[in-house]
Amino acid sequence: MAKKTILVVDDTEWNRELMVQLLEDEYTILQAVDGEDGVRKAEEEKPDLILMDLGMPVMDGWTFRREQRRDSAFAHIPVIVLSGADEDRFNELEAAATLQKPASMSEVLRCVRLLCENLGTSRA
């Protein structure tokens, strides 16, 4: 069975690398440096799950979610928001899950595993 693919969208390289280290044993990890890069990679690569920050240059997470929800090519891909900003507005994102930074790595991993288990069959 193929590994599920997760797209990590965060402008901070350290945060992306932390997610890679946490998840790479169980999942294939793609990285995007901002929301615009994330939209492009999500459309091209069709990941199973997106893990993203909100506060990013070029295109922030709010704009990414608007673009994603409008684009049938990747609107169905569940998103986990991991951010320290605007936690009082997380519900507006209509994300599969929202985690406030700093989140424990065990909490992030638990959330990713739960969502991936509920996705059904793996990518071919």
Q: pTM for the complete prediction?
A: 0.89
Is 93 strand, coil or helix? helix
Q: What percent of the chain has pLDDT over 90?
A: 65
- Give per-residue pLDDT as tens, 97-119: 888 888 889 999 999 999 998 88
The model's pLDDT over 41-83, given as tens digits with 9 standing for 90+, comes to: 999 999 999 999 998 999 999 999 999 999 888 999 999 998 8
| CATH fold for domain 5-117 | Rossmann fold (3.40.50)
Residue 4, Cα to own-chain centre: how many angstroms?
13
Residue ranges covered by each domain of the chain: 5-117
DSSP 52-86: E-S--SSS-HHHHHHHHHH-TTTTTS-EEEEESS-
